[in-house]
Amino acid sequence: MPVVSDHEWPREEADILKSVFAGKADAAMQRRAISYLVEVVCGINQVGFDPDNVNMTIHLTGRKWVARQIQNAITIPLDRLTGESHERRSSGDGPADPAAGSAGGRINRAAARRRTGPAAK
């Protein structure tokens, strides 16, 4: 089975991502880092099928799923993304209840199914 190699980072893109992680990036750098991750590293716009290698197809599909989840978190309205009504949310200071939607820190699987099930688009 072929091994998937690590991504070869251009120095400038790696530096920007490190700045974001360190909390030193301005808004433009933050957008550039997220765009690079979604478009290049995760390959959201690349063909995700390798007819000669089913394992590579599975790998590419997983990368694209991660990109889609990041894209969803950015573009879908917060109440729809989290399943919260507008009234339950706080005034923009963060979640009204940090434990809402989780059971002992675990993922709320019912909410995840609603967001990613066949009806979600």
Domain segments of the chain as ranges: 8-41, 48-82+105-121
pLDDT of residue 117: 58
Binned average pLDDT, 10 residues per bin, the chain of 121 residues:
82 96 96 95 89 91 94 93 71 48 46 55 41
Residue 90 CB contacts under 8 Å (≥ 6 apart), including other chains: 96
As a whole number of angstroms, the distance between CA 8 and CA 88 comes to 44
pLDDT at 105: 37
At how many degrees (to 10) do helices 11-22 and 27-36 cross? 120
Residue 63 in tokens: 């990368």
pLDDT of residue 121: 41
Give the CA-trace dihedral at 102, 104, 107, 113, to 10 degrees. Answer: -60
Q: What is the DSSP string of 73-109?
A: HHHS-HHHHH---TTTS-SSSS-SSTTTT-BTTB--H
Q: How many other C-beta atoms are found inside a 10 Å radius of the C-beta of residue 27?
A: 7
Supply the DSSP string of 12-28, one letter for each residue: HHHHHHHHHHHT---HH
